[in-house]
């Protein structure tokens, strides 16, 4: 699947001069099933410098510096990316997949607490234990957590409140549902993370095969059920 994704910044000094402007814009990132290349750049002379940086966990930003804009003057830095998605197939045999016992440092980052994902909260840990009881395989355990969140926590519009509040209230917005699934999985020692796409997010969990080779598997917490593979491909930010 091939996308074109146009992103950047247009800024104008309206009521007076502006100086020392610094801005960052998220851009599509190379991912396990996604390749990215720049196919067009629209950069006005007012832009002093454009560069890119990759933060922890793979987030990529375009960084802009504008030294000065006079009243009414406009600066623009808009980049068009070609994003090619090659969706990985869902696993055909899930019985042999296991929770990693000694995950690498990069994977281990997704076992702790994060903002709005309090995986160490007592109620989160207790709920995770209850959900996975009598589920034999790692895949069945993660899928049980997935189905529990979708069935027990109602999707409602509102402000972001986080996993623990969504568990307590029984409802939350789409990021709350994703955060609750992630928190419950992490409480069960399954590495899990948020993936951001335009105007949306979903979760990925990490399991290994018997040889120790691991892979991230996506799942969609809102809308049509999708566990282990996503039918819709969007540019990953």
Per-residue pLDDT tens over the stretch 161-178: 999 999 999 999 999 999
Scored b (16 or more CB within 10 A) or e, 131-145 reads bbeeeeebbebbbbb
Q: What is the pLDDT of residues 180-230, one digit of tens each?
A: 999 999 999 999 999 998 889 999 999 999 899 999 999 999 999 999 998
Which residue shows structure tokens 């966990």?
57
CA-to-CA distance for 209 and 198, rounded, in angstroms? 31
Please give the structure tokens belonging to residue 168.
Answer: 């307590």
Which residue shows structure tokens 């990490």?
206
Contact predicate 78/34, CB 8 Å: no
Helices 138-152, 122-132: inter-axial angle, 10-degree rounding: 120
Sign of the torsion angle spanned by Cα atoms 108, 114, 116, 120: positive
Percent of the chain topping pLDDT 90: 81
Per-residue pLDDT band for 231 (boundaries 50, 70, 90) equals confident
Q: pTM here?
A: 0.88
Helices 138-152, 174-187: inter-axial angle, 10-degree rounding: 150
CA-to-CA distance for 173 and 168, rounded, in angstroms? 14
Per-residue pLDDT band for 39 (boundaries 50, 70, 90) equals very high
């Amino acid at each position: 699947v091939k996308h074109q994704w146009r992103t950047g910044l247009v800024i104008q000094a309206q009521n007076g001069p502006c100086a020392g402007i610094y801005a960052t814009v998220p851009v599509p990132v190379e991912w396990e099933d996604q390749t990215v290349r720049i196919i067009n750049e629209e950069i006005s002379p007012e832009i002093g410098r454009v560069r890119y940086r990759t933060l922890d966990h793979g987030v990529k930003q375009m960084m802009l510096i504008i030294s000065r804009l006079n009243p009414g003057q406009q600066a623009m830095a808009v980049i068009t990316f070609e994003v090619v998605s090659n969706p990985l197939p869902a696993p055909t045999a899930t019985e042999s997949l296991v929770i990693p016992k000694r995950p690498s440092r990069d994977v281990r980052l997704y076992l702790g607490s994060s903002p709005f994902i309090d995986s160490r909260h007592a109620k989160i840990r207790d709920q995770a234990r209850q959900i996975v009881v009598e589920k034999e395989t790692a895949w069945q355990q993660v899928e049980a957590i997935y189905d529990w969140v979708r069935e027990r926590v109602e999707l409602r519009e509102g402000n972001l409140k986080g996993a623990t509040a969504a568990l307590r209230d029984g409802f939350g917005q789409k990021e709350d549902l994703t955060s609750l699934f992630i928190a419950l999985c992490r409480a069960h020692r399954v590495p899990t993370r948020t993936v951001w796409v335009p105007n949306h997010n979903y979760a990925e969990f990490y399991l290994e095969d018997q040889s120790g080779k691991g892979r991230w598997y996506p799942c969609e917490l809102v809308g049509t059920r999708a566990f282990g593979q996503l039918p819709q491909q969007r540019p990953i930010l």
